[in-house]
Amino acid sequence: MGNAELHSIHVHPVKAFRGQAPREALVEPWGLAGDRRWALIDAGGKVVTQRQQPRLALAAAALLPGGGVRLSAADREPVTVAVPEPTGTTAMNFFGTKVEAVLADDAAHAWCSAHLDTDVRLVHLDDPATRRPIDDPPHAHSGEMVSLADRYPLLLTTLASLDALNSLIAQGDHPGEAPLPMNRFRPNVVVAGTAAWAEDDWSRISIGEVTFRVAKMCGRCVVTTTDQDTAERGREPLRTLGRHRRIGDRLIFGQDLVPETLGTVRIGDAVTVLG
């Protein structure tokens, strides 16, 4: 691990949209600054992701100063969305959990609905310090919060593990789907310079000046089978993960992180295993 380093950083301002790859990012208690503070909900208040709508892969969100976003897609003109005033909140059904968020403006709803050809609304998580505790006993600790990521503040993956997984896919039933790019897994931080699957044994790490608790191996879903450039779905990597990386009912790739300290992480930062 002496040469392990932070290879790339990924921030997704709107959940399920394409994100950005900055050279540095501020780590907040609930995740990278600006990451997954916005999401879509359907007419019944249920969160909408690429699980239901793979076409979300074709929409991009760029973070603006102050926390607003610029939404763009090839099929329509971009739209700029300001952070809404927190004068009232709406209840999201976030995978069975109630989360309060603030509705964006009508123009944002219209843009997102037109892109998906279905009625959706864009919401903003105005106060991540109070809105959503991590609810995953016994892996979460009291007082830990998360934004609108699936479960934990950050997701870590490694280049070596992706290479190993692609080798297994190439030897399996659907070799034509390999190699898969890292964007299938939508991580926040990608580490280079490790052995394949080394991250399975980590419990605490530092990235530059910031330390993290490794909370849990990340179970993967159908989103990983979605080509992020075309929105088309295949069979991999779930087929191969099911054969080689199954723990109970979960198919594992990557590690969920919780910040222990705050600060800025930068591409090239040393990654050190602390436990």
Give pLDDT < 50 ranges for the chain. none
Q: What is the pLDDT of residue 2?
A: 73
- % of the chain surpassing 70 pLDDT: 100
CA dist., res. 173 & res. 177, Å (int):
10
Place of tokens 């993960």: 241
Q: What is the pLDDT of residue 26?
A: 98
Q: What is the pLDDT of residue 1?
A: 65
Count of other CB atoms within 10 angstroms of residue 214:
22
Q: Which two tokens stand for residue 111?
A: 């843009």
Average pLDDT across the chain, whole number? 97
